[in-house]
Amino acid sequence: MSKRIWRRVLGSRRSEEVYVARCSGTTKKGTQCRLKAMEGSDYCAIHITEDPRAPSGSEAIEELESRLTEKMKTILGFGIAAGIVLSALIKKS
């Protein structure tokens, strides 16, 4: 389990202290990452690949696709196609 750090929550009439999970990842220097862990994980977005509970790339894609409706898939497809066309036009210029 990741270490917890205190963080003061500001912006309200009275400040309160809450626990914020610190990333359990290791930096290139070998020290513990200082970033905040993502919700539901012990790791930040940079070190999420170190999480043994994280799904593999194909599992993550399958899970995402199962959550997309057909309309969303169509819109996403058009967006990808438009990006390819724009990329080709920019290279041509």
State the pTM of this model: 0.43
Residue 79: pLDDT above 90?
A: yes
Helix locations, the chain, DSSP H:
57-67, 70-92
Tell me the average pLDDT across 25-40: 90
CA distance 4 to 39: 13
DSSP SS3 for 9: strand
44-77 pLDDT, tens digit each = 888 888 888 877 778 777 877 888 888 888 898 9
CA distance 36 to 42: 9
